[in-house]
Amino acid sequence: MNLLTVLFAAVGLAADAFAVSVANGIALKRCYKLYCSLIFGFYFGLFQFIMPIIGFYLGQSFTDEFEDFSHWIVFGLLALIGVKMIYETLSNREEDETVCDTRQILSVKNMCVLAIATSIDACALGVSFALVRTPVLVPSIVIGVVAFVFSGVGVFLGNKLGGFFHKSAGIVGGVILIGIGIKILLT
């Protein structure tokens, strides 16, 4: 697989991470700081780097079994997070708009769940690398770097767009996450 093909694959894989980052940037409202983008970029880039390697080694053992249900896992995780985001927004409608709990959004647990959910397709790509006997390290680095950049920019853009949505930002973010899960399930 040549570098241009890997770059296009990396952009495609980063699209989900970008969309999830935008949704979380919206949820951050007025609490956004540069470190929020760096944290999202770090987690999403790291998991997008690691998952093709895991997929590569899984693919050497068994291929069809994993690919058959990966989209259900992604859908379930994203839908669960999206519904939770909507529920929390609706249950806290009267909360002061300037209050924002970045600790919850940027928690290790939340970040790992989001990063895993958006990188399972990278794991499936790693399986395909094993099938076509493509070395996995350089593509994984490219995929991780692209995901880092897209995720960091996504949080920033989501935060800037979030001002247009005011109190509905959490609902919009949750709907985006559910929509991504449905898209992955259908494709």
Q: 60-86, pLDDT tens digit by residue?
A: 776 556 566 767 776 776 687 778 767
Instruction: For 160-179, write each residue's pLDDT tens digit.
Output: 886 565 456 567 667 876 88
Residue 182 lies in a domain: yes
Distance CA 186, CA 94 (A): 36
The pLDDT value recorded for residue 98 is 47
> In terms of residue numbers, what domain contains 149?
3-27+40-94+119-186
* Structure tokens given for 155: 């949080």
Instruction: For 13-60, write each residue's pLDDT tens digit.
Output: 888 888 888 888 888 877 889 999 999 999 999 999 999 999 899 877
Residue 65 lies in a domain: yes
Q: Label each residue of the chain as H, E or C.
A: CCHHHHHHHHHHHHHHHHHHHHHHHHHCHHHCCHHHHHHHHHHHHHHHHHHHHHHHHHHHHCCHHHHHHHHHHHHHHHHHHHHHHHHHHHHCCCCCCCCCCHHHHCCHHHHHHHHHHHHHHHHHHHHHHHHCCCCCHHHHHHHHHHHHHHHHHHHHHHHHHHCCCHHHHHHHHHHHHHHHHHHHHHC
Number of domains in the chain: 1
The average confidence (pLDDT) of the chain is: 81
Residue 110 lies in a domain: no
Residue 50 lies in a domain: yes
Is a pLDDT exceeding 80 seen at residue 96?
Answer: no
